[in-house]
Chains A and B, each alone.
Chain A
Amino acid sequence: MLAPFVLLFVAFSIYPIFASFRLSFMRYNAICDEELSPCGSVRFGNYYRLFFEDDRFHKALLNTSYYVVGAVSLTIIASLMLAIALQADTKSNRILRVVFFLPSVTSSIATVLVWGWVFRGDGVGLLNGVLAAMGISPVEWLATPALAVPILVLMSVWGGAGYGMILFLAGINSIPTYYYEAAMIDGANPRQRFRYITLPLLKPVMTYVGITSIIGAFQIFEGVYLLFPTSVGSVGGLQDMALMLVPYLYDQGFIHFRLGYASAIAWVLFGIIFIISLINLKLSKSFEDLR
């Protein structure tokens, strides 16, 4: 009875992990013709090139780091604030919760396409239209390298805050009310109650939201692919201003068919996520020990 799941799980979840590890030490392009494009081991060649020679990869890594730091921290702050603001179980709050959660269930392609129009460079774009109404000339939002990552961060907070909010709400609601009652009898003000009761007791939820949104943020693809195309059929936008890890993986693997090299990128992605998750878990553990 376990067999159907285990067979599929091994074939499409476990085997690929090892296979891509093996590929990451190879030159591999699916043609594997001795003369035209040979395949074979390159030892650490792929990783060497990634870390020491490939400027596009460095750019992708840097952009992704900025993006992850910005998106994750702002999403956590926004969702915690939303959870607190919408905590009371009133009718208007229930409706607002739905509104804030909607992006989590909307097709990401659809929302990216709408944002693409919001940030259109000419006067027809929504944001430039607002600026025009205030007498400011249009801005080339998607062609300004300094704005690429912030725009993607904004889209990510917009899309992810509602999800974190639900988790925080569940966390807040599982805190027994007598803590607050006791604190109020002791004369704690709202800020103190938040600081010394709500926040510490939300730590496990915080860790969970943190890890899941970090993992999610590292995997950004649609926004980069649709909003920052380049003329040569590649991804990343002008001067690779929005190039990130997964889009670069796609670029190397499925546009240039460097499957070995793309596997190495995948393993770097995995390594980063793995280390960050471990640090996050360790940190939250040691915080618990301190208290």
Chain B
Amino acid sequence: MTIIDQEEFVPKDTFDAGGFSSPFEKRSKWSKLRRIPLYLTTIIMVAPYYWMITSSFKSVQELQKVPPTVVPNKWLLVNYFNTNFGNVNNNSTDPSNQRGLFQRFEEVQFGFFHYVLNSLFIVVTITVATMLISSLAAYVVSKHRMKGKRLIYLTIIGSMMVPWQVGIIPNFLTMSNLNWLDTYWAYIIPALPKAFIVFFLVQYLSSIPDELVESARIDRASEFTIWWRIILPLLKPAMIAMMIFASIGEWNNFLWPMIIANSPEMWNLPVALSMLRNNGAGNIGMQGIIMGASLLASIPTVLLFLVAQKHFIRGIALSGIK
């Protein structure tokens, strides 16, 4: 695991700004003990994940144990797929006689995976489309002389101050008027204009010399060619950072999908998860299934982060320093 690539902004000799240790001062045995609170905190950080993973593999009987078991006695897949469900000899009052996660959501095709596909489709579409229109806009704002450009840019920056919930009701009414409620349009179209991405890309473009664009114009390259051939390749690191940003945000989006998606076919993963929870709130047996669903819903974004953490972290760090 290579976490958080620091080559760009860290001095090579690891220097401790907190001053807890330095090459010039004697390291005492206390310096090791000092890290004990850190390790305790780490346990608290990891505990929910550990719990989520292990409980999804426990049997219903084991889930009901007081106090709960730390390590599953037996790693089982019943919460995902219960082969015994519907068995004639099964006692119907037996709490373990319930559907596994993949045997639920029968009202939609592919069951649980319908929501995985829904989420994937929505996230990919939004991310690709928003990056295209944002980079176009950033290119114009950054490299064109145009009347009113400054006003547009200031409006974009100013809009970042407004919490998105302010617009939630008019946007809902717009969706309703367009008859877009319960369609993918309502997921995708309002999610496309992302002020922060344009702002970030404009910032990034400002460090790229105008001459590059000017010389292309002298060579009679069309504006779209300049954008596609020159600007996009130069923007690649910033684009990747923002793509990860946008896709993780959309994957985890909950409030807006809950408002616009009424029929089970249109739910995304978080909404489907919350529905599982609403149906099985008090039922301990359901918890293993809910944990399994939570685990599956978390894996894609965590993987994406682990694979692309270098770009992601740089994006966050840049947004904070500027």
Q: Give A residues with C-beta under 8 Å from B.
A: 1-2, 4-6, 8-9, 11-17, 19-20, 23, 30, 82, 84-90, 94-103, 105-111, 113-118, 122-124, 126, 128-130, 132-133, 158, 163, 166-167, 169-175, 177, 180, 184, 189-191, 193-194, 197-198, 204-205, 208-209, 215, 218-219, 221-222, 225-226, 229, 246, 249-250, 253-254, 259, 262-263, 266-267, 269-270, 273-274, 277
Q: Is B18 an interface residue (CB 8 A)?
A: yes
Complex interface: chain A residues within 8 A of B173 (CB): 19, 30, 259
Known contacts A5-B134, A30-B176; is A13 also within 8 Å of B254 by CB?
no
Is B259 touching A270 in the complex (CB atoms < 8 A)? no
Q: Give B residues with C-beta under 8 Å from A.
A: 1-4, 6, 9-11, 13-22, 24-25, 35, 38, 41-42, 44-49, 51-52, 55, 63-68, 133-134, 136-137, 139-141, 146, 152, 155-156, 159, 161-163, 165-174, 176, 189-190, 192-193, 195, 198, 223-224, 227, 248, 251-252, 254-255, 259, 269-270, 273-274, 277-278, 281, 284, 287, 290-291, 293-295, 297-298, 301-302, 304-306, 309, 313, 316-318, 320-321
Q: Give chain B's interface secondary structure class.
A: helix
In the assembly, what is the distance between CA of A263 and CA of B163, in Å? 12
In the assembly, what is the distance between CA of A147 and CA of B185, in Å? 41
B63 CB, nearest partner CB in chain A, Å:
7
Is A102 touching B49 in the complex (CB atoms < 8 A)? yes
Complex interface: chain A residues within 8 A of B2 (CB): 94
Q: Give chain A's interface secondary structure class.
A: helix
A231 CB, nearest partner CB in chain B, Å:
11
Complex interface: chain A residues within 8 A of B161 (CB): 273-274, 277
Name the contact of B9 in the complex, choosing from A170, A266, A270 (C-beta under 8 A). A170
Is A110 touching B66 in the complex (CB atoms < 8 A)? no
Complex interface: chain A residues within 8 A of B309 (CB): 98
In the assembly, what is the distance between CA of A117 and CA of B58, in Å? 14
Name the contact of A209 in the complex, choosing from B20, B24, B320 (C-beta under 8 A). B320
Q: Could you list 29 examples of A-B contacts with CB < 8 Å? A: A9-B195, A11-B174, A84-B17, A87-B16, A88-B15, A89-B10, A90-B14, A94-B4, A97-B4, A98-B1, A100-B45, A102-B49, A108-B254, A110-B273, A110-B294, A113-B273, A114-B291, A124-B66, A170-B318, A173-B17, A174-B321, A198-B17, A205-B321, A249-B165, A253-B169, A259-B169, A259-B173, A266-B169, A273-B163
